[in-house]
């Protein structure tokens, strides 16, 4: 046992000493450094960029992508993909707008105006339903995630358009007499000077961190994405996990839909078009592997901020929206490039450290086998 701890120290020395260290930190913290770089560059280019009010405005934009990205992160961690989140966002906004207009029951001859908290719950329920359809198709009917969620992308968008006939709900304020005011509080208003949307993102992120790092479910998510077969044989309910991540992703999209329509004070059926791609980009820039099993909330949040701060910065300095698209694309490619460098680098490092520990081992191993047998025997008698 004692020599094990010595090995440990040696290994630490190797990993954390030497000049390789800096490269490693730069590589692993790349989303963070990219964010710093973006802030510095745009602050130099534009006097208005570096100010609290601008940061808060940009953050409230980030909140939308951040919420989608967090849901997407769970899906990607299991090795899946959810292309339907943009449409779900739009559908959720329209559905909330529809509820805010009042639901009329013609048989009873009454119009029911649900309070905002009921709207929130029903809308999240709708998001969960879309996610559940995705999840069941993927986990139980073995439809490839890409195809299933692509289908839902169209269906959800279509339903949103049908619900409004292509029009937009502009009256989301409610009225005090009907008891359904407060939609503003989902994203438009500020609490302690911070946009509510940002606070919601923060809350969802904290839940996400706890969920992934501290619950059995989180462990199941990582193991399902790392090796579903091994996870299944270890008793992980892989199929239920797959359904649940899509449900969570759907709920996140619904929340984002609520926040966005509150921010805009209107709910249009085309809201959130192509947002799924931005959400995926955020997750990837945050260092998650599309093959599953690798990634975390912190990285994903940074990824969402990188994209948001970059595109808003480009707007502020007056770059054309066409160029913005080009820049965003370039950043995504760069991020994936760095991902593959990081993961292949890790493998190489492992291989080389294997090699290092191997070389003295063969002779040691043959000598050790009786010795290790005896220590093992001791341990056995002790227990």
Partner 1 sequence: MNEHAVSQEEALGKVILSARNIAKSFGNVHALKAVNFDVHYGQVTTLFGENGAGKSTLMKILSGVMQPSSGEIVLEGEPVSFSSTTEAQRHGISIIHQELSLAPNLSVRDNVFMGREIVGKGGVDYAEESHQTRQLMEELDEPIDPLTPVEDLRLGQQQIVEIARALSVNSRILIMDEPTSALSASEVEVLFRVIRDLKSRGVSLVYISHHLEEALTITDHAVVLRDGRMTAYAARAEIDLEWIVRNMVGENFDLGSPPEGYAMGDAVLSIEGVTVPDASVPGRAVVDDMSLSVRAGEIVCIYGLMGAGRTELLESVAGRGGMVAGRVLLHGEDISRLSIAERIEKGLVLVPEDRQRDGLVPTMSVGENLSLASIGAFTKGLLTSRGRERHVVGDSISNVHIKTDGPAASIGSLSGGNQQKVVIGKMMATHPRVVLLDEPSRGIDIGAKAEVFRLLSEGAAQQGLAVVFSTSEVGECLSIAHRIVVMSRGRIAAEFGADATKEEIMAASGEAVVA
Applying CB under 8 A, the span of 95-103, 210-218, 243-251, 271-279 interacting with partner 1 comes to 210-218
Residues numbered 287-326 forming contacts with partner 1, rule: CB under 8 A: 289, 292-294
Please tell me whether residue 286 binds partner 1 under the rule CB under 8 A. Answer: no
Query: Looking at beta carbons only, is 325 or 372 nearer to partner 1?
Result: 372
Measured over the CA atoms of residue 245, residue 247, residue 248 and residue 254, the dihedral's sign is positive
Residues numbered 130-149 forming contacts with partner 1, rule: CB under 8 A: none
* Per-residue interface string for the shown chain with partner 1, residues 84-123, x marking contact by CB under 8 A: ----------------------------------------
Closest CA to 67 of 127, 140, 135: 127
**Residues 216/210, Cβ–Cβ less than 8 Å:** no
Closest CA to 218 of 81, 77, 66: 77
Beta carbon of residue 204, minimum distance to partner 1 (angstroms, whole number): 17
Query: Looking at beta carbons only, is 111 or 210 nearer to partner 1?
Result: 210
Please tell me whether residue 21 binds partner 1 under the rule CB under 8 A. Answer: no
Q: Could you tell me which residues come within 8 angstroms of residue 6 by beta carbon, excluding any fewer than 6 positions away?
A: none
Query: Looking at beta carbons only, is 35 or 205 nearer to partner 1?
Result: 205
Beta carbon of residue 317, minimum distance to partner 1 (angstroms, whole number): 40
109, 216, 318, 360: which one contacts partner 1 (CB under 8 A)?
216
CA distance 12 to 28: 18
Query: Looking at beta carbons only, is 157 or 294 nearer to partner 1?
Result: 294
Q: Give the distance, in angstroms, between the CA of residue 186 and the centroid of all CA atoms in the same chain.
A: 20
Please tell me whether residue 17 binds partner 1 under the rule CB under 8 A. Answer: no
CA 66-296-352 angle, 5° bins: 140
Looking at residue 194, what DSSP letter applies? E
Length of the chain in terms of residues written? 383
- Is 125 strand, coil or helix? helix
Number of H helices, E strands in the chain: 15, 4
Applying CB under 8 A, the span of 169-177, 186-194, 244-252, 285-293 interacting with partner 1 comes to 285-293
Query: Looking at beta carbons only, is 60 or 224 nearer to partner 1?
Result: 224
57, 234, 325, 340: which one contacts partner 1 (CB under 8 A)?
234
Q: How many CB atoms lie within 10 A of CB 343?
A: 14
Closest CA to 93 of 255, 246, 277, 280: 255
Please tell me whether residue 275 binds partner 1 under the rule CB under 8 A. Answer: no
- Is 169 strand, coil or helix? strand
Query: Looking at beta carbons only, is 321 or 374 nearer to partner 1?
Result: 374
Provide the strand spans (E) within the chain: 103-105, 110-112, 190-191, 194-195
Applying CB under 8 A, the span of 20-28, 82-90, 207-215, 279-287 interacting with partner 1 comes to 207-215
CA 22-26-28 angle, 5° bins: 115
Beta carbon of residue 229, minimum distance to partner 1 (angstroms, whole number): 5
Residues numbered 323-382 forming contacts with partner 1, rule: CB under 8 A: 346-347, 350-351, 353-355, 357-358, 361-362, 365-366, 368-369, 372-373, 376, 379-380
Phi, psi of 110 (to 5 degrees): -120, 155
Query: Looking at beta carbons only, is 211 or 264 nearer to partner 1?
Result: 211
Residues near partner 1 (CB under 8 A):
1, 4, 7-8, 11, 210, 214-216, 219-220, 222-223, 225-227, 229-237, 289, 292-294, 346-347, 350-351, 353-355, 357-358, 361-362, 365-366, 368-369, 372-373, 376, 379-380, 383
């Amino acid at each position: 046992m004692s020599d094990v701890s010595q090995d440990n120290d040696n290994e630490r020395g190797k990993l954390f000493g030497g000049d390789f260290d800096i490269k490693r930190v730069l590589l692993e913290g790349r989303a963070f450094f990219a964010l710093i770089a973006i802030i510095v560059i745009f602050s130099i280019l534009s006097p208005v960029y570096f100010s609290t009010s601008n940061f808060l405005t940009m953050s409230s934009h980030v909140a939308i992508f951040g919420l989608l990205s967090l849901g997407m992160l769970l899906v990607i961690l299991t090795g899946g993909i959810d292309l339907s989140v943009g449409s779900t966002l739009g559908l959720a906004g329209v559905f909330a707008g529809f509820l805010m207009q009042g639901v009329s029951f013609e048989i009873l001859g009454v119009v029911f105006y649900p309070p905002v908290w009921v709207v929130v719950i029903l809308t999240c329920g709708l998001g969960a339903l879309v996610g559940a359809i995705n999840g069941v198709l993927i986990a139980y009917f073995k439809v490839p995630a890409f195809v299933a969620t692509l289908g839902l992308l169209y269906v959800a968008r279509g339903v949103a358009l049908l619900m409004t006939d292509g029009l937009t709900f502009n009256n989301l304020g409610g009225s005090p007499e009907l008891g359904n005011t407060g939609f503003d509080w989902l994203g438009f208003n500020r609490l302690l000077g911070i946009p509510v949307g940002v606070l919601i993102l923060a809350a969802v992120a904290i839940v996400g961190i706890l969920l992934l790092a501290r619950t059995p479910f989180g462990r199941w998510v990582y193991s399902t994405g790392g090796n579903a077969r091994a996870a299944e044989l270890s008793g992980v309910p892989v199929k239920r996990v797959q359904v649940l991540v899509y449900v969570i992703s759907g709920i996140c999209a619904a929340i984002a839909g609520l926040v966005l329509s509150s921010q805009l004070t209107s709910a249009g059926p085309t809201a959130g078009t192509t947002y799924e791609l931005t959400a995926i980009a955020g997750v990837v820039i945050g260092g998650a592997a599309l093959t599953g099993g690798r990634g975390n909330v912190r990285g994903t949040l940074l990824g969402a901020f990188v994209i948001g701060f970059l595109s808003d910065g480009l707007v502020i300095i007056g770059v054309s929206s066409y160029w913005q698209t080009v820049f965003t694309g370039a950043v995504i490619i760069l991020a994936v490039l760095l991902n593959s460098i990081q993961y292949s680098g890790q493998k190489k490092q492992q291989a080389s450290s294997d090699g290092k520990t191997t070389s003295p081992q063969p002779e040691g191993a043959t000598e050790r086998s009786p010795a290790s047998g005896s220590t093992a025997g001791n341990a056995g008698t002790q227990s």
